[in-house]
C-alpha cells in the first residue's frame, strides 16, 4: 500500500490518538507516514505551521499537498476514504455519536487547559477549581450514561470518550476517576482491549 498521507503526530496527544485509532480500525495505518511533531501552546512550531497556521496536531497532509485539520475533520476524512462505520449517518445513533464526539473533545479541551494552568508558576486557583468541577461533572454524567455507551455501536463518539478517559489516566492519575465513575471504568476496561487502543497507548518521549 502507498503511504500517501502524512500525519503530524505525537504519541502523547489525545487528539492524534483519535486519528490513529480511526486509522487502525479502518485498516488505513499503512497509508500514513508519521512525522513526530512537537506542538506546544507557548512555542509555535514552524514545520507544523507550514501546513497549519494554528500550529496544532493532528494535521494531515495529502499527496497533492493539501492539508486537513483538526482531528474532527481528519477522522471523518479517513472514515470516508475507507467507507467505514465510525460516523453513523442514520437516526439516533448519528446524534449519539456526534454528541459523544463533541463531549469527549470538550472534556479533552478542559483537561489540557487544566494541565497548562496547573503547570504555571503561579496557577489561578479559580481556574483550577473550575476545570476540576467540569471534569468531575462530566465523569458523573458519563457514568450515568454507561449503559447507553455500552449498547451503542463503536463509533467516533465512543472512541473519543475512550481517548479522553485514557488522557485522564495519562496526565491526571491522581484524580482517581475510577472511584468517581465505577460503571464507566468497567466499560473503559473492555474498550481498551481493542487492538486500536492497545497500539496507541500514550507514551512519553
Ligand atoms: N481541536 C483540535 C485540538 C488539537 C490540539 O489542541 N492539539 C494539541 C496537542 S494535544 C496542540 O497541538 N497544541 C498546540 C497548541 O495549542 O498550540 C483537534 O481536535 O485536533
Q: How far is the CA of 39 from the centre of ligand 1 (A)?
A: 7
- The ligand 1 atom at the shortest distance from the C-alpha of residue 44 is 17
Q: What residue ranges of the chain have pLDDT lower than 70?
A: 1-2
Whether ligand 1 lies within 6 angstroms of the CB of 56 is answered as: yes
Alpha carbon distance 127, 117 (integer Å):
8
pLDDT of residue 18: 98
Cα 109 to middle of ligand 1, angstroms? 9
Task: State how far the Cα of 39 lies from the Cα of 15, in Å rounded to an integer.
Answer: 12
At 76-100, the pLDDT tens digits run: 999 999 999 999 999 999 999 999 9
Q: Is the CB of 73 under 6 A from ligand 1?
A: no
* pLDDT given for residue 1 in this prediction: 58
Q: Is the CB of 75 under 6 A from ligand 1?
A: no
Q: How confident is the model at residue 204, as a pLDDT?
A: 87
| pLDDT at residue 205, as a whole number | 73
Q: Which of 84, 115, 121, 86 is nearest to 13 (CA)?
A: 115
Return the SS3 of 4: coil
Name the residue with the closest Cα to ligand 1, atom 12. Answer: 56
* Residue 204 three-state SS: coil
Residues β-bridged to residue 8: 35, 59
Residue of 7, 12, 56, 170 with the most ligand 1 atoms within 8 Å of its CB, for mutation = 56
C-alpha of residue 57 to centroid of ligand 1, in Å: 5
Best probe residue, ligand 1, of 7, 10, 57 (max atoms within 8 Å of C-beta)? 57
Amino acid at each position: 500500500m502507498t503511504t500517501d498521507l502524512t500525519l503530524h503526530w505525537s504519541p502523547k496527544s489525545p487528539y492524534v490518538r483519535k486519528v490513529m485509532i480511526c486509522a487502525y480500525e479502518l485498516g488505513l495505518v499503512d497509508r500514513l507516514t508519521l512525522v513526530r511533531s512537537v506542538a506546544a501552546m507557548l512555542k509555535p512550531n514552524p514545520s507544523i505551521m507550514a501546513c497549519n497556521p494554528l500550529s496544532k496536531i493532528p494535521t494531515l497532509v495529502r499527496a497533492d499537498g493539501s492539508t486537513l485539520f483538526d482531528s474532527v475533520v481528519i477522522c471523518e476524512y479517513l472514515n470516508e476514504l475507507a467507507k467505514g462505520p465510525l460516523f453513523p449517518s442514520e437516526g439516533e445513533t448519528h446524534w449519539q455519536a456526534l454528541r459523544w464526539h463533541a463531549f469527549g473533545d470538550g472534556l479533552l479541551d478542559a483537561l489540557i487547559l487544566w494541565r497548562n494552568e496547573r503547570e504555571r508558576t503561579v496557577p489561578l486557583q479559580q481556574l483550577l477549581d473550575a476545570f476540576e468541577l467540569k471534569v468531575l461533572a462530566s465523569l458523573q454524567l458519563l457514568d450515568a450514561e454507561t449503559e447507553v455507551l455500552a449498547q451503542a455501536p463503536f463509533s467516533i463518539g465512543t472512541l473519543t470518550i475512550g481517548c479522553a478517559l485514557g488522557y485522564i489516566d495519562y496526565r491526571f492519575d491522581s484524580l482517581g476517576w475510577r472511584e468517581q465513575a465505577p460503571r464507566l471504568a468497567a466499560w473503559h476496561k473492555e474498550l481498551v482491549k481493542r487492538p486500536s487502543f492497545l497500539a496507541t497507548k500514550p507514551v512519553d518521549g
